[in-house]
Structure 1
């Protein structure tokens, strides 16, 4: 039972529940402060397949990334979308600002494009 509790805690401070994973080594941490400590330590050893997965891939994967990047750039050229993004970024209540922005079809399209880059739909990419 005690080992299970420790496993659910931040690997840096061991006080708070883990919320995030280091993108390089997948070590769990709880906050930006703990992440900075972790990244500055010698404990962050990137997993070999993590670096390879981001720098290589099939030509089909790279073509998909270029297509999505071009589509995102085209969307970001839209002044209305840029205005919406600025409003969300500057809002005091980000959750409400996001809910309002998601009422705009242009913003939804942008969000969908972003999600398709970071988390492709099943079957969209073959890994």
Structure 2
């Protein structure tokens, strides 16, 4: 895709999934470059906490899209009432937002604990974490 073509929400979500998969692989084994110190964990958790807030907003936007499209939607198989499908989806998205809010709060709490750690054999400015 060239840079003049706008990226769609679905494409961006797919890119985010790939980035999370890459992060999962990068954090699999400790002791590798960039994944050796408490400061490395702190920076990753900081980004994930910020991402958690963005996820909450995105889930709200998806829910709002379904709300805005009501009346223009039809059930694919015709067995369910479309309104109930929209209500069900929006309810599930609301619960997902609550879970994302909880995740974000827990990540921020983890940052508090991680900020008090340093590698016992660490030398250099990256060994200790900045105060909160």
- TM-score, scaled to structure 1: 0.28
Which protein is bigger by CA-based radius of gyration? 2
- TM-score, scaled to structure 2: 0.27
Greater RCO between the two (CA within 8 Å, min separation 6)? Answer: 2
